[in-house]
Amino acid sequence: MIRFSLTAGFCWIIFFSYYAVVESIPDKICLEKGETGNFDFDLPIIGELKQEGIEVFGNQSPTVDSEKIKLDLNQSFSLKSQQQGNYVMSCKLFGLFQIKDVSVEVMDKAQVVPCGVPVGIYVKTDGVLIIGTGNVVGSDGMSHEPAANLVKSGDYVKTVNEQVIETKEDLVEKINQCQGEPVILGILREEEYIDLKVEPVKTDEDEYKLGIWVRDDLAGVGTLTFYDEQGDYGALGHPVSDMDTGIKVNMSEGSLYEAEIAGITKGEKGNPGEISGVITYLDQYRLGTVEENTNKGIYGKLEKLPAENGEPSYYPIGLKQTIEEGEATVISSVSGEKREYTINITNMDYNSENKGILFQVTDPELLELTGGVIQGMSGSPIIQNGKVIGAVTHVFVQDATKGYGIFIENMLKH
């Protein structure tokens, strides 16, 4: 038993050590064309890069053969390239065991206008989103649940009897037209299209129901993160998700509107708090389109600039290898006026999609106003050393003073 326990313990140590090494190396490294990126992983790894296109230098003399450059990742090094493109660095533990390939992407220099102002977000679903199922009382006086165990929360109804539907009204109309005959629902479930046969229940004269709760649009308040010289913007830093299912919404189209903060619920332990906003859905308040809903935020085109953001002031971006633990600021308009609040960056996860920056709010005014990070602040730009390095994305439910942020390079490369 003792020998077995020691062996098992040793295996676990090896496994977690290996996992820790793998996670310490980013899946992707981004470089700005013509700029130097400095790295110091301090790991017993040998990295191999194709010689063409990338210049390697720093505190070591890399081994160069006819085709590849070998780097010792136990020492600091620098990378630079004068041409945009994608490269691969193969990483081997002790130079022997292949553990992962790191994507090296050389991108054009970028500058953006950080915003931090509230916006109203309205999106239409691509198909009719099913929230859940329920009972309906038929004209026979009995309780029925015709869609139970057939459809699931998060399904999208795309067709009824092969006829495309786009709204709740379309769905109701097609079900009533069936006059009680079974219908075939064309369902998108995650990435799979399936057909489901459901028999509607007659509830009144010429009225039939499937017993499903549905939604075809969503609206809410978030924060505009940035826009660039072409008027392309990014916001939120995480997807628009349905409030009931928690699933990222498949959207067909959407619009961005000006919004006013109507109230603030302060964050407390177990309650992250939230911003209450007023959105006016009139053309004169429309800011632009919502064209993409991704895990890294929403994207579209601005048709006019938010008045609250003031005159455009362009900032360079800061790639994740330039971010330092310590003081930074968050731009937010939670007080009704756009300003910067101090935070402290405490840790980073280079491989996280939208939780790469861990920080704690230290600004006394923001703590007094909101308690820290609250819902609706998602998308607030994070600034360090005069560069946009990321945006707020999540709050700790048990500690509103702590939050996560997404790296700005992840938002730019949506």
The answer to whether the beta carbons of residues 224 and 235 sit under 8 Å apart is yes
Q: What per-residue confidence (pLDDT) applies to 235?
A: 95
Residue 6's H or E segment, with its range, is helix 2-24
The per-residue DSSP string of 316-375 comes to EB--GGG--SEEEEEEE-TTSS-EEEEEEEEEE-TT-SS--EEEEE--HHHHHHHSS--B
pTM over 0.75: yes
HSE toward the beta carbon, residue 104, CA cutoff 13 A: 25
Out of 2.20.28, 3.30.70, 1.10.357, 2.60.40, select the CATH number for domain 25-107.
2.60.40
Fold of 111-122+217-412: Thrombin, subunit H (2.40.10)
Q: Residue 73: exposed, middle, or buried by beta-carbon count in 10 A (0-12, 13-18, 19+)?
A: buried
* Ramachandran angles phi, psi of 154, nearest 5°: 100, -10
The answer to whether the beta carbons of residues 121 and 240 sit under 8 Å apart is yes
135-210: CATH superfamily? PDZ domain (2.30.42.10)
pLDDT per residue over 16-38, tens digit each?
455 566 777 888 889 998 888 88
The answer to whether the beta carbons of residues 297 and 232 sit under 8 Å apart is no
Which region holds residue 270: left if phi is over 0, alpha if psi is between -120 and 50, else beta? Answer: left
Q: Answer whether residue 334 shows pLDDT above 50.
A: yes
CA–CA distance, 65 with 80 (Å, rounded to integer): 19
Domain extent listing, the chain: 25-107, 111-122+217-412, 135-210
Which range scores top for mean pLDDT: 58-67, 70-79, 98-107, 358-367? 358-367
Locus of tokens 């009533």: 176
Which range scores top for mean pLDDT: 1-10, 129-138, 359-368? 359-368
In this structure, the number of other CB atoms found within 10 A of the CB of residue 5 comes to 9
CA–CA distance, 244 with 254 (Å, rounded to integer): 20
Higher pLDDT, 186 or 139: 186
Beta strands 97-107; 297-301: pairing state: unpaired
Q: 106 by DSSP, 3-state: which? A: strand
Q: Kindly report which listed range (6-10, 221-225, 232-236, 260-264) carries the lowest average pLDDT score.
A: 6-10
Q: What per-residue confidence (pLDDT) applies to 184?
A: 92
The answer to whether the beta carbons of residues 193 and 162 sit under 8 Å apart is no
Higher pLDDT, 163 or 67: 163
pLDDT per residue over 361-404, tens digit each?
999 999 999 999 988 899 999 999 999 999 999 988 888 899 99
Which residues 6+ apart lie within 8 Å of 106 measured at CB? 30, 31, 32, 33, 53, 54, 81, 83, 84, 85, 86, 87
